[in-house]
Structure 1
Amino acid sequence: MLESIIKRDGHTEPFTPSKLPQWGEWAAQSLGDSVDWPSAVLETVSSMSTTATSRELQQQLIRTCLNFDTWSYNRMAGRLYATLIRKDLYRNRRPTVLDLHRKLQQLGFMEMLDYSES
């Protein structure tokens, strides 16, 4: 069972199960009672080794949701996956629309537009 988490910055801390309900509340928004998040967490945590990265934990939560094989759990897995990808791409800094637009301009995917920054 999971006891320690290696965070993205490399430091290790004790696994705190009380943090996971926040992920579930966010990912289960608009899904109602069709997702049993505590069961998904228990199944995930009990199947993991004593130490894992936060990324591995999130990936296993996604797999667990997909294994339930229902529309609601698939949506929840998708939301967790979208967050995982965003963290992989941007770390803790979420870019603004203007930042993304400028980056896409530099890459040649967007045209130069005459919008003001205000």
Structure 2
Amino acid sequence: KFVKLCRDSALFSAVFDNVPFVLAMIPLVKNIIDMSGINSVGGSADSLWWALALGACLGGNCTLVGASANVVVSKISQKNRYPITFGKFSKYGMPFMIQSVIISLLYVWLRYFAFVR
């Protein structure tokens, strides 16, 4: 579940600003935890919260519209006569996002699942 949540959070945050996305997802993640009977303190419930946070944060690095800071940087660079296009930003942002999400998934897996008896 945490892999899908992290992946989907990253993909949605690449297209939509990550802050409103996370605010909308919080009740959904709470429902997933409640309905699946996962212990809400420790264990895999924490892995779902980390998957949402990391996926949304890192997914915002993929495109110009993924995070508010990206839009600000774009406007500042445009003002200084060095425009950053959507495609140019994504050319560098997408590989970074993919690599960082994979590393985050590995971290969450190691932290919450690899050494559980």
- Structure having the higher Rg: 1
TM surpasses 0.5: no
User: Which has the larger strand fraction?
Assistant: 1
Relative to the length of structure 2, the TM-score reads: 0.29
User: Which has the larger helix fraction?
Assistant: 2
Greater relative CO (CA pairs within 8 A, separation 6+): 2
Relative to the length of structure 1, the TM-score reads: 0.29
